[in-house]
Structure formats: structure tokens, C-alpha cells
Amino acid sequence: MEADGFMSRRTSVEAAGVDSRVGGAAAGAEIRWLGGRLLGTTGGFHISPRMTGEQDFAPVSHRSTSDISTSLETEIDYEGLPQGMATSTHMLAGAVAGIMEHCLMYPIDCVKTRMQSLHPEPGARYRNVMDALRQIVQTEGVWRPIRGVNVLAVGAGPAHALYFACYEKIKFSLSDAIHPGTNSHFANGVAGCVATLLHDAIMNPAEVVKQRMQMFNSPYRGVLDCVGSLLRHEGPAAFYRSYTTQLTMNVPFQALHFMTYEYLQELLNPHRQYNPSSHVVSGALAGALAAAATSPLDVCKTLLNTQEAQAVHMIQAEAATAAGAVASAPGSRHISGLGEAFRMVYRMGGIPAFFKGVQARVIYQMPSTAISWSVYEFFKYIITKRQHERRLHGDRDGDK
């Protein structure tokens, strides 16, 4: 299927053997691959596998030079962006996709944070996602599930811009280096991992503030109050206390996410054209699988970001006992590092605690990644199409 004449470069694979067989007959002719047939646009012949009763060479009506030019120019690859526009297009599409993804699914993210609490207060114990949303709205107001969304939107824009731009650049460069003209799952995984390093460096402070404001009975009046309080009481390190854990979670998450997405795209959209339904299905399934597999690490990350009171008291008591002191100074000890978070989660809830909130996490990630990929591919397609149309009109005006 073609979408407005846009075809992926993955369908334009040059076959060396075919080139050698038709080189003499089609010398100087431009060759296009269409529907499994080689079409000589200037020679007037098409070559296809011979069927019973079918001639090897069938005549094709000749086309004018202008028709050929127009046909060739409209077959633009929306994945292989115009030169000079690739980075900016990926960044713009990625920023819009990231903001929409996080903002639209923010209420579910709020529920996930609360359901991952290791020792929730009586007013924050929920049976499932819908029960949590109902209770939050009834007891805390209709706007409570989206409290803190503004700081996430500010972080998500630049983070996702770098994320998608880095991913696309590395994916194509590494794929071409490994096996030119084909898709490489290894390249997809490496690209996803490297893109995550940049993404998390920007998003981690926003994640910390967001989760502090999502907590039940959060003491902060707003985003600025939360940022100021963290700086005064815990220092700048508080914004990156969970960075290594975030990376430990997101590197396998994104590697699994991107490899699953690209694999599903090969099955559902083999020609790699703009196909909204395939982007939605591939994104949702990839997000669900990656979310479920990395849920234990997400619970540890939430504990590091929120510094849940009871867990902090246990850490402080242990530190005081080890030092032989009667009491520990308030705020002198925090949960730090993946190992300590992992140990605290296990002590407070055992193995089941590592899967607290997994339902909310999967429910959040499925539409979230579907939205992200759909919006990203849509904007990439539209921006590329408009850029090509402007270039085409410019060429025609120059010919006049």
C-alpha cells in the first residue's frame, strides 16, 4: 500500500544481482522498483518473473520527461528526511509527541505513583486504577490527578526532542554500517539505549518534582515550592538521586521497546510507509511488554524519588543503631542507590512489592507509547511532505 506516493527507503533496496543482469539492457535508464517489478522509466520495458503464458518482455507505454520527473519526485521516503531537515524534523516531531504522551496520560501516571507506595496511608489504598481515580477526584478534587503536569510538560519537550533525533540518527547510521539497506535489530537497540541517556538526563529532575507532587498529602503548594524545598533540605543531588536507577530501568526498557516496535513494524508495515494503525498497535504492544518487564525497577525508582517516610525512618534507625547513637538527626539519611532501594522494597513487602502498580504501569504505557509513536510518525510525515512540496514547487518555478 502506498500513502500519497510516499514510500520508505527500506522498500528501495538495491539488488546487486538484478543490477548486473539488466545493466546492459538498461544502460543509462533510470530504474524504479514498483510492486516487485523493475520498471525502466526511459527504456519502455518492465522485467518481471516469467509466469506461464506470459512474455518475458512486455511493452509499456512511453511517458514524457515531465511525467517521469513528477512521478520520481513524489516517491519520497518520509523516514529518510530531506537533507538538512532531518535533525530539526525529528526534534520537532519528538517534542510534540513527548508532550502529548505525558500530558494525556498524566492522571494514570499519578495513580501509578500512589499504587507503588510501599506503605500507603489509609486514604490512599486503592483496589485498581479506576477505583484510585474515583477516590482521588471525590476526596481531593477534580484537578488533583493532573497536579504537577506543567513541570512534566516543560521537561518532556526537550527530552523527547533529543530522544527521537538521537534515535533516528544512530539507527540509520549504525544500520547502514552493519548491513546497508536493511533493518538491524541490534542497531535499533543500541540507538534506543544511547537516546535514553540524553532523555533521562533532562527528564530526571522533572520526574522527581512530579512524583513528589503526586504523593498522597503532598506538602508542596506548587512546582516552585517543591523545587525550593528540595534544594534547601536535600540539596541538588536530590534531583538525580534516582538517575542511575532510571537508566538501569530505561536502558532495557527502551531497548526492548524499540526492538519490539521495529519488529512489529516489519510484520504489520513491511513497506515502512506512513500507516497510523500499524504505529498505534506496534507502539501499544511494545510499551506494554517493556513496562511489565521493567516494573520492579520502576518501583525502586519511585521509592528513590519520593523518599517514602516509613522507609526513610527505617534507614535512619539502622544508621543510628550502626553508629551507636540514640537517635538520628532528622533528614540526615536518605535512601540512595538502586541496591539500597531494592533491599528496602524487599524488606517492606517481599517479592510482591516489586510488582506494586504494575497494572497501572501497563495501562499507562500502552496508550502512552501508542500516542507517542502515532504523533511522532504523523508530524514527521506531514513536515517531510510539506518540505518536499515546497522543494518541488521551487524546482518548477526555476524551470519556468
Q: Are 369 and 286 in contact (CB under 8 A)?
A: yes
Report how far residue 324's alpha carbon sits from residue 340's, in angstroms, rounded to the nearest whole number: 21
**Radius of gyration, CA atoms only, the chain:** 27
Would you state the cell numbers that stand for residue 327, as one nine-digit string? 537517635
Angle, helices 295-306/338-353, rounded to nearest 10 degrees: 120
**What pLDDT, on a 0 to 100 scale, did the predictor assign at position 59?**
45
What is the arithmetic mean of pLDDT over 324-351? 77
What is the arithmetic mean of pLDDT over 200-214? 94
- Does the pLDDT value for residue 299 go beyond 90? yes
**What pLDDT, on a 0 to 100 scale, did the predictor assign at position 400?**
63
Mean pLDDT for all residues in the chain = 77
Report how far residue 355's alpha carbon sits from residue 346's, in angstroms, rounded to the nearest whole number: 11
Q: Of 83 and 299, which is predicted with more confidence?
A: 299
Residue 123: pLDDT band by 50, 70, 90 thresholds? confident
What is the arithmetic mean of pLDDT over 143-161? 92
**What pLDDT, on a 0 to 100 scale, did the predictor assign at position 86?**
58
Residue 101: pLDDT band by 50, 70, 90 thresholds? confident
Report how far residue 58's alpha carbon sits from residue 48's, in angstroms, rounded to the nearest whole number: 9
Would you state the cell numbers that stand for residue 285, as one nine-digit string? 504492544
What is the arithmetic mean of pLDDT over 130-152? 94
- Does the pLDDT value for residue 286 go beyond 90? yes
pTM of the model: 0.67
- Does the pLDDT value for residue 53 go beyond 80? no
**What pLDDT, on a 0 to 100 scale, did the predictor assign at position 81?**
47
Q: Are 75 and 7 in contact (CB under 8 A)?
A: yes
| Range 87-316+334-389: architecture per CATH | Alpha/alpha barrel (1.50)
- Residue 189 Cα distances to 176, 251, 258, 277, 366, angstroms: 15, 9, 6, 23, 19
Q: Are 123 and 216 in contact (CB under 8 A)?
A: yes
